[in-house]
Amino acid sequence: MIRIFTQALTFSSFLLINTALKAQPEYIFKGGTLASGTSNKIGAVYFFPSVKAGVDATITITNITGGVTLTSIDGSAGFSDALQPVISIPALKNGYVEFKIDFFNAGTTIPNKQKEVPVTPINVDGQKFSSLPLYEYDEIYSPDGYTYFQTAGSELAITMNNSWARGKNKASVEYPGIDTIRKEVMFTTINVGISTLLVRVGADNQSKTDAVRSRSLYFKKFKYPSEIILPNRTLLSFNGCERNSKVELKGLLSSSHNYDKIIIEKSNSSMQFSNVAELPITNEGSSEFPFTFIDKNSLAANNYYRVRLVNTKLGVIEISNILMINMDKETTELQLVNSIVKKESPMLTLISEKAATAKLQLTDFNGRILCSKNLNLNSGLNIINFDAIKIPSGFGFVTIEKEGVLNNFKIIVQ
């Protein structure tokens, strides 16, 4: 941890500086009491009063894995306003404690749907024991939310697995104490419109030493240098087509988005993009937001487009998949209109310059074949449904053999 205090500082100066190191959280978890079950065991329920004005909360221990033990649901290290579980992780074990947090109208058992719940795991660090590493990690269930973090110099591997946003330490460097200075070992996940939240705190102990780790979940947004967002379900659709010798792009943002600006970017090479339009988002994430853009200067060849979503206040961005639209009327190249598909019963939209038979193969990121089928393509737009197929979240690939030519497309599965 960076030392920023000198011995000359008075106690009052220390308080002022220490207060400045963090921002006031939107939810305060302290003063929790055991409401039912056995303390620190699966099934235990803790009651936390007044986590927010007019809101109480309960925390239920729903799962413990990998030989981990919970020694305290809310330890004394770090910030008292945060939820600070303390876990013990045996040598050569990997496990976590899972919590379910429920929000209620104060003094009742009536669920209280929260407009927005930000969670920031802080000090997700690690340690080496005789050169063997221990890596901490946190997971937040976020089926319709989003996650952002620091890109340059981050010591976390940020992934999305089955709707769990996960930040796992990859440097095994320990930073004594718990604070919000070290942005490289923090990430923020935001959920909207929920009354229940699932979180996990864990560690991957690859050393031969048992370890006790103090964890901290701080319920507030933070700003990171060089932020990037982990795409989840923000961009529900993004596609385009030729219309009256121009390219028409259409997209749809989810109702859980947190952006105020859409930037349309274009390239003729799929590498170097430049801004061609800026569209304001006017509904502040209160509902799904459709947008349309007409490119009057499309090339008579391949045109590449992508969307940059921006939250100007937080400095958060999300960049979409790249969409290719071919305006060469003589080409027989096959085009994939949508590059983002749902993981259950996915649908592909293809444009073929002429009717033809084709063979399609759908594979996951590891190259496992999920589906093979013969196609009778029509001239123009073709919609291919996979009603009984479920694709793992992440990346996938579509290969279509048409008239002896292999067409390969990369898709994003959400």
Amino acid letter for position 331: T
52 three-state secondary structure: strand
How far apart (Å, rounded) are the C-alpha atoms in residues 125 and 184? 9
**Mean pLDDT across 371-393:** 78
The pLDDT assigned to 181 comes to: 86
Residue 13 carries which DSSP code?
A: H
The pLDDT assigned to 206 comes to: 97
SS (HEC) of 47-102: EEEEEECCEEEEEEEEEECCCCEEEECCCCCCCCCCECCEEEECCCEEEEEEEEEE
The pLDDT assigned to 67 comes to: 96
The pLDDT assigned to 271 comes to: 57
* Bridge partner list, 292: 250
Write out the two tokens for 79: 């910030």
Measured over the CA atoms of residue 113, residue 45, residue 98 and residue 71, the dihedral's sign is: positive
Which stretch, 42-51, 173-182, 366-375, has highest mean pLDDT? 42-51
Chain Cα centroid distance, residue 19: 29
The pLDDT assigned to 11 comes to: 31
The pLDDT assigned to 174 comes to: 92
Is 5 a residue whose pLDDT tops 50? no
Is 15 a residue whose pLDDT tops 60? no
Is 93 a residue whose pLDDT tops 60? yes
Q: How many CB atoms lie within 10 A of CB 107?
A: 10
Q: Name the band, by pLDDT with cuts 50, 70 and 90, for residue 81.
A: very high
Q: How many CB atoms lie within 10 A of CB 245?
A: 10
Question: What does the mean pLDDT of the chain come to?
Answer: 83
Query: Contact 411/396 with Cβ under 8 angstroms?
Result: yes
Query: Contact 102/57 with Cβ under 8 angstroms?
Result: yes
Give percent of the chain above pLDDT 70. 86
Give percent of the chain above pLDDT 90. 40
Overall pTM surpassing 0.85 (yes/no): no
The pLDDT assigned to 321 comes to: 67
Q: What is the pLDDT of residues 343-353, one digit of tens each?
A: 777 788 788 87
**Buried b vs exposed e over 302-321: b needs ≥16 C-beta within 10 Å?**
bbbbbbbbbbeebebbbbbb
Domains of the chain: 11-224 (no CATH), 233-330 (2.60.40.10), 332-414 (2.60.40.2550)
